[in-house]
Chain A
Amino acid sequence: MTELGLFDFDASGHLRLRALYPDTSLDEVAQNTGFRLVVADDLSTIVLPDPEVVAMIRALDPLGVHIKELQPRDRTRRFAVASCSKLGSSDECRTLRCR
């Protein structure tokens, strides 16, 4: 799990890119990876939390301690979240870009 994407390991034990964030691209991951990037056939977008989970995280961390673990330039990254029932499509829910 990185700030650019989600990896797993393929059958040979090599890291394999499984998912991107709504605002990251294959090129960006490749440029920041020192080895040849292996990409899953079904590359997808990371599943974003429901608003209820976001509210839970904010209640658990009112001081924003976890924000310090992010690079300064990543602290302003935002992704649209909405309950899937409102949007009617889980895919749409996962891939909505924020402003």
Chain B
Amino acid sequence: MEIADTCCYTVVQQLRAAAAGVPFLPVRSMRGTGFPGLHPEYLAMKCPFTGDDLLLVPALAPDVALIHAQYGDSHGNLRIVGPPVADLLSARASKKVIATVERIVTNDELQALGGANVPYFTSPQSPKSRWVRIRPPATRSTPTTARTPRSTTDRPRPARKSFVRAISPHTSSIAATTPTIWSASAQKRLARACVAGAMVASLARALRGGRRMIGTCTLGEAMIHALARTIEDGTLVFHGFGSPLVQLAMHVAKRTHAPDMALIAGATYGLNPHPPFLTPTSNDWVLDRGAECSLDIEQLFDLGASGRLGRMFLSGVQIDRWGNANVTRLGRGQLDIKLPGGGGGCNLSCDVERLTLWTTATAAPRINTANGVSGWSIGATSSPTSATVRPMGRLVWRWVIAAGARNGW
């Protein structure tokens, strides 16, 4: 298995090319970063229509896409409730789809569950684009390497129906016993605990004299406030996975000086959500509560690529004097420490109008790599004006070692 760092929108374009049956698609971003250097298959091109410098990325058709849906029917249609993120695109591009569902319903019931989530600032899309057909399992007579026909004449066959029925009891039992990241009951318990805690805290505040008792703020609160002040009102602002400080900064900005900002939450891609509280993981659906609509990964990154994303927040394990950020690896030559990777930052750092770079760990102890070099800025992101790999000094941050679900963006 070969592994290479890449970036969200680049993969989106590669999957789109595979889904559309064309050999490549262009991207405008990534130029000026170190990522093209990791991918010799990318080609540069001058646009014959506009003269723009473009990067061509080849179609990428996964052998298998693994997705999960709440509902499926006996034909293999799926209904994904909530933010679909990259599931639809992955299903369209892949040669085979393996799906788990929580409940198998009739097609009529599935239709009744459907509905369009069309963001007001994106092109209308058919509600049917949320429906994905499960590929039938390959029979023994079918070579496993053969691509399943995707023509419109490929109608459901009895074998497919029996396949779905065969797994039905199993998937139902899985659905009954496997909680999501935060089960509904756990969320309710947590919400009740938070409400109770908040009531106790507010009572305590009232007894102490209310808000006048807030005489100090923490470093985190000061940073949240300073990050919020970088947000202009009326702009489209996005945060990515695992950025509690930035999440809070965006909600503070929305509630204070920037009521007309369009807030897009990371992980859920929900627009202007009103989460009751910040959850320990940014993949929690409670963070999508009250969202006016939810985008998917294509829509979000198209907003960036078309120049409509106003501000984004990014970090890196190293940031150099020109704003290049190292997001891929530490070590010269031999890999010493693998970093979380580019996420969507490599594309968005080129595409967004304005960028806020931030970190909480410039003064953390240095990471000592095997060759004694603290690291090099390889996957350089951000400043489009600086194109080359640059050596770094002591700006090495420790949280990469403690990287968990909340690292990276």
Task: Please report A residues at the B interface, Cβ cutoff 8 Å.
Answer: 1-4, 6, 9, 13-15, 21, 28, 32-36, 46-49, 51-63, 65-71, 74-75, 77-82, 98
User: 29 A-B Cβ contacts within 8 A?
Assistant: A1-B227, A2-B359, A4-B363, A15-B322, A15-B323, A32-B363, A32-B394, A46-B222, A48-B222, A49-B221, A51-B211, A55-B211, A56-B256, A60-B251, A63-B194, A63-B280, A66-B220, A66-B224, A66-B278, A69-B406, A71-B399, A74-B360, A75-B220, A77-B218, A77-B219, A78-B216, A78-B217, A78-B219, A81-B217
Cβ contact within 8 Å between A65 and B279: yes
Cβ contact within 8 Å between B229 and A15: no
Specify which chain A residues have a CB less than 8 angstroms from the CB of B222 in the assembled complex: 21, 46, 48-49, 79
- Given the interface contacts A33-B394, A62-B194, A66-B248, does A28 sit within 8 Å of B220 by beta carbon? no
Measured CB to CB, the nearest residue on chain B to A49 is B225
Choice from B221, B251, B323 contacting A54 with Cβ under 8 Å: B221
Cβ contact within 8 Å between A1 and B220: no
Q: Is B358 positioned at the interface, with any CB of A under 8 Å from its CB?
A: yes
Cβ contact within 8 Å between A3 and B252: no
Cβ contact within 8 Å between A35 and B194: no
Choice from B211, B247, B251 contacting A52 with Cβ under 8 Å: B211
Q: Is B138 positioned at the interface, with any CB of A under 8 Å from its CB?
A: no
Measured CB to CB, the nearest residue on chain B to A68 is B406
A66 smallest CB distance to B (angstroms): 4
| Complex: A47 Cα to B321 Cα, angstroms | 24
Specify which chain B residues have a CB less than 8 angstroms from the CB of A15 in the assembled complex: 319, 321-323
Cβ contact within 8 Å between B393 and A71: no
Known: A48-B217, A59-B198. 17 other contacts (CB 8 A): A1-B357, A3-B223, A4-B363, A14-B322, A34-B394, A34-B395, A48-B222, A53-B252, A56-B252, A61-B277, A62-B198, A63-B279, A65-B280, A66-B248, A71-B363, A79-B218, A79-B222
A30 smallest CB distance to B (angstroms): 10
Specify which chain B residues have a CB less than 8 angstroms from the CB of A46 in the assembled complex: 222, 226
Cβ contact within 8 Å between A35 and B320: yes
Specify which chain A residues have a CB less than 8 angstroms from the CB of B320 in the assembled complex: 34-35
| Complex: A53 Cα to B220 Cα, angstroms | 12
Specify which chain A residues have a CB less than 8 angstroms from the CB of B225 in the assembled complex: 47-49, 53, 57
Measured CB to CB, the nearest residue on chain A to B213 is A51
Cβ contact within 8 Å between B360 and A49: no
Encode B351-381 as 1/0 by CB contact (under 8 A) with A: 0000011111111100000000000000000
Q: Is B234 positioned at the interface, with any CB of A under 8 Å from its CB?
A: no
Cβ contact within 8 Å between A61 and B214: no
Specify which chain A residues have a CB less than 8 angstroms from the CB of B217 in the assembled complex: 48-49, 54, 78-79, 81
Cβ contact within 8 Å between B256 and A53: yes
Specify which chain A residues have a CB less than 8 angstroms from the CB of B212 in the assembled complex: 51
Specify which chain A residues have a CB less than 8 angstroms from the CB of B356 in the assembled complex: 1
Q: Is B124 positioned at the interface, with any CB of A under 8 Å from its CB?
A: no
Q: Is B385 positioned at the interface, with any CB of A under 8 Å from its CB?
A: yes
Within 8 A of A (CB), among B261-282: 277-280
Specify which chain A residues have a CB less than 8 angstroms from the CB of B248 in the assembled complex: 57, 60-61, 66
Cβ contact within 8 Å between A74 and B211: no
Choice from A2, A56, A82 contacting B215 with Cβ under 8 Å: A82
Specify which chain A residues have a CB less than 8 angstroms from the CB of B218 in the assembled complex: 67, 75, 77-79
A17 smallest CB distance to B (angstroms): 11
| Complex: A3 Cα to B356 Cα, angstroms | 14
| Complex: A98 Cα to B214 Cα, angstroms | 12
- Given the interface contacts A14-B322, A65-B244, does A70 sit within 8 Å of B219 by beta carbon? yes
